[in-house]
């Protein structure tokens, strides 16, 4: 099912920055449209000062690419754009070319739910230069946001130590699509459900919700409001108890719970939305247990995030279910991932010799890696933990069983020095980027959201606890393979001495 088409009936080919189209026009004018190029999508810094990131958004990428083309209305609009001389920005012949264009790139990607680290390619796009270029903005838009929210959700769920998290962020999300894709990403990240009903319909995510303060305030008393709700929906009773006086609200909810029991229903829970969650939840647990409602859950909501939750649990809060909204759905403390899309190799034709490309910066961490990049992840066969990752160039494959891996100073932190990691003999490994599109057509069967969620949990289980710490985690080692490391240094030296040469 293509969820994008359900939401957006018109073409999304113009979901791009104008400079992608002006560059495409330049390639067309210079007759370089069919040069074969390789672009890599990656990020440079871990979000939230964390130790890991979770790849997400691939399914949406494939939905976006399905039958991607410029419609007549797209081209009619582009024809109205003018340059500084008040003449059309694009020639009609170029627009005619776009009208016939069908995307035929190859894409390799990390599966959704995979643990990833800075500078590792999440996506690698290979194909005609013009086509690869036109995909940049949309791919970054999709992958950056969903990867960010999935990572945030994973951290929040990690903080609750197995207690369920409900995503309640729709009303604070950045627009309609931001809410929907964030609900999807949050579910992948481990949330048990969402308040977003449209996300439930589109993605099959469990939807949860009962009532708000306005329900209580619309009646003459809290007792009357609870009774009316219980009579209307006896199979969905989680009472919001902090409208007037929280302790009194809890007692009234218990009274209504007794009525529910008499009618063969149960008091599912009470919800705290303000006040001191530690003392209030402890008192609520005491009152509920004394009244025989030991199975009734205590739900908390109100500007929660992973650090707040961790602190509440450390302080002894008796909360069973967490409703997390604004700070999850908006990624409140870091609004963007900062992923980039860089040209890493190019050649004149499919039979030509590859020329490596890299972008150099005065900031070492911003100097990109050249080549047809792949990531190899090594594991410890004894403890079944991830040991380290190696980025390598498929044009110069690494030796099969390296005993050590060269460390790149730019790999994940500019202050690192060169060094190596010694691997156990015959350490098992896996190459992480897999083929997903060939000549514009999908070549994989996508997993379900449930399978992606499971993959994420399996990935985190293989990560050392020091990597998963919410505060001051250890840095997971990501290395450059020796050949790639020396290639990169050579290209940097040549560029700085203004002596560029093709390096094969």
Contact 449, 112 (CB under 8 A): no
Q: How many residues does the chain have?
A: 504
**Most confident segment among 332-336, 381-385, 405-409, 414-418:** 332-336
Q: Is 224 helix (H, G, I), strand (E, B) or coil?
A: helix
Radius of gyration over every alpha carbon of the chain, rounded to an integer in angstroms:
27
Euclidean distance between CA atoms 338 and 328, whole angstroms? 17
* Cα angle 408-412-416, degrees, rounded to a multiple of 5: 60
- Of 457, 439, 405, residue with least CA distance to 162: 457
DSSP result, 40-101: EEE-SS-GGG-S-EE---HHHHHHHHTT----HHHHHHHTT-B-TTSSBSS-HHHHHHHHH-
CA-to-CA separations, 92 to 22, 34, 75, 207, in angstroms, rounded: 14, 20, 9, 49
Euclidean distance between CA atoms 190 and 154, whole angstroms? 6
Which has the minimum average pLDDT: 10-24, 184-198, 336-350, 406-420? 406-420
Which of 464-500 are b and which e, b meaning 16 or more Cβ less than 10 Å from the residue's Cβ?
beebbebeebeebbbbbbbbbbebbeebbeeeeeeee
DSSP 219: S
* pLDDT value of residue 416: 42
Confidence check: pLDDT of 412 > 50? no
- Under the banding of pLDDT at 50, 70 and 90, the label for residue 44 is very high
| Farthest CA pair distance, the chain | 86
- Under the banding of pLDDT at 50, 70 and 90, the label for residue 1 is low
* pLDDT value of residue 403: 58
Helix-helix angle 18-29:92-100, to 10 degrees: 100
Determine phi and psi for 469, rounding to 5 degrees: -55, 135
According to DSSP, the residues that pair with 129 across neighbouring strands are: none
CA-to-CA separations, 75 to 52, 78, 204, 253, 302, in angstroms, rounded: 42, 5, 36, 61, 47
- Sign (positive or negative) of CA dihedral 232, 235, 240, 241: positive
Determine phi and psi for 497, rounding to 5 degrees: -100, 10
- Of 38, 24, 39, 40, residue with least CA distance to 130: 24
Q: What are the strands of the beta sheet with 340-347, ordered from one edge? A: 355-356, 340-347, 36-42, 123-128, 106-109, 434-438, 441-442
Euclidean distance between CA atoms 118 and 465, whole angstroms? 19
- Sign (positive or negative) of CA dihedral 386, 387, 389, 390: negative
Q: Is 6 helix (H, G, I), strand (E, B) or coil?
A: helix
Chain segment 137-184, per-residue pLDDT in tens: 999 999 999 999 999 999 999 999 999 999 999 999 999 999 999 999
Q: Where are the domains of the chain?
A: 1-30+70-102, 209-317
* pLDDT value of residue 164: 98
| Section 241-261 average pLDDT | 98
Whole-number average pLDDT of the chain? 92
Euclidean distance between CA atoms 62 and 42, whole angstroms? 18
DSSP result, 160-209: TTT--EEE--GGGSSHHHHHHHHHHHHHHTT--EES-HHHHHHH---B--
Predicted TM-score (pTM) of this structure: 0.94
Euclidean distance between CA atoms 504 and 501, whole angstroms? 10
* pLDDT value of residue 394: 95
| Section 297-305 average pLDDT | 96
Chain segment 65-106, per-residue pLDDT in tens: 998 999 999 999 999 999 999 999 999 999 999 999 999 999
Contact 145, 337 (CB under 8 A): yes
| Section 399-404 average pLDDT | 60
Considering the four listed CATH numbers 3.20.20.70, 3.40.50.300, 3.40.720.10, 3.10.25.10, the one that applies to the domain covering 209-317 is 3.20.20.70
- Of 477, 478, 481, 488, residue with least CA distance to 394: 481
* pLDDT value of residue 495: 85
């Amino acid at each position: 099912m293509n969820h994008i088409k359900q939401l957006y009936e018109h073409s999304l080919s113009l979901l791009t920055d104008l400079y992608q189209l002006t560059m495409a026009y330049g390639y067309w004018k210079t007759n370089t449209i069919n040069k074969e190029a390789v672009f890599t999508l990656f990020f440079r810094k871990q979000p939230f000062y964390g130790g890991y990131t979770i790849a997400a958004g691939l399914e949406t990428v494939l939905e976006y690419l399905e039958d991607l083309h410029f419609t007549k209305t797209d081209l009619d609009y582009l024809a109205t754009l003018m340059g500084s001389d008040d003449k059309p920005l694009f020639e009609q012949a170029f627009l005619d070319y776009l009208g016939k264009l069908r995307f035929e790139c190859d894409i390799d990607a990390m599966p959704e739910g995979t643990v990833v680290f800075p500078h590792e390619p999440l996506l690698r796009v290979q194909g005609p230069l013009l086509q690869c270029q036109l995909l940049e903005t949309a791919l970054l838009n999709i992958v950056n946001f969903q990867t960010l929210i999935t990572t945030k959700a994973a951290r929040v769920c990690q903080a609750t130590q197995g207690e369920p998290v409900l995503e309640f962020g729709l009303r604070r999300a950045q627009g309609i699509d931001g809410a929907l894709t964030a609900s999807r990403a949050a579910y992948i990240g481990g949330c048990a459900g969402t308040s977003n009903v449209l996300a439930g319909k589109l993605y099959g995510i469990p939807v949860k919700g009962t009532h708000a303060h306005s329900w209580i305030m619309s009646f003459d008393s809290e007792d009357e409001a609870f009774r009316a709700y219980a009579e209307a929906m006896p199979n969905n009773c989680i009472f919001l108890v902090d409208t007037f006086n929280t302790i009194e609200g809890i007692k009234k909810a218990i009274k209504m719970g007794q009525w529910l029991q008499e009618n063969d229903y149960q008091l599912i829970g009470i919800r705290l939305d303000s006040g001191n969650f530690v003392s209030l939840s402890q008192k609520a647990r005491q009152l509920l247990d004394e009244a025989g409602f030991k199975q009734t859950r205590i739900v908390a909501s109100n500007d929660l995030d992973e650090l707040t939750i961790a602190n509440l649990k450390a302080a002894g809060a008796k909360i069973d279910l967490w409703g997390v909204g604004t700070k999850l759905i908006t990624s409140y403390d870091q609004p963007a991932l900062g992923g980039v899309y860089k040209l890493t190799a190019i050649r004149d034709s499919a039979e030509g010799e590859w020329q490596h490309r890299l972008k150099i910066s005065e900031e070492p961490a911003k100097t990109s890696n050249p080549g047809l990049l792949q990531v190899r992840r090594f594991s410890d066969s004894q403890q079944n933990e991830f040991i380290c990752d190696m980025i390598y160039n498929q044009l110069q494959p690494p030796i099969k069983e390296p005993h050590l891996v060269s460390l790149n100073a730019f790999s994940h932190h500019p202050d690192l020095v060169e060094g190596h990691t010694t691997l156990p003999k015959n350490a098992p490994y896996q190459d992480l980027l897999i083929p997903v599109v060939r000549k514009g057509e999908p070549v994989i069967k996508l997993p379900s959201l449930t399978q992606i969620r499971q993959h994420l949990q399996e990935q985190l289980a293989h990560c050392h606890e020091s990597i998963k710490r919410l505060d001051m985690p250890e840095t997971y080692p990501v290395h450059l393979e020796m050949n790639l490391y020396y290639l990169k240094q050579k290209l940097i030296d040549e560029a700085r001495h203004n002596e560029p040469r093709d390096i094969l």
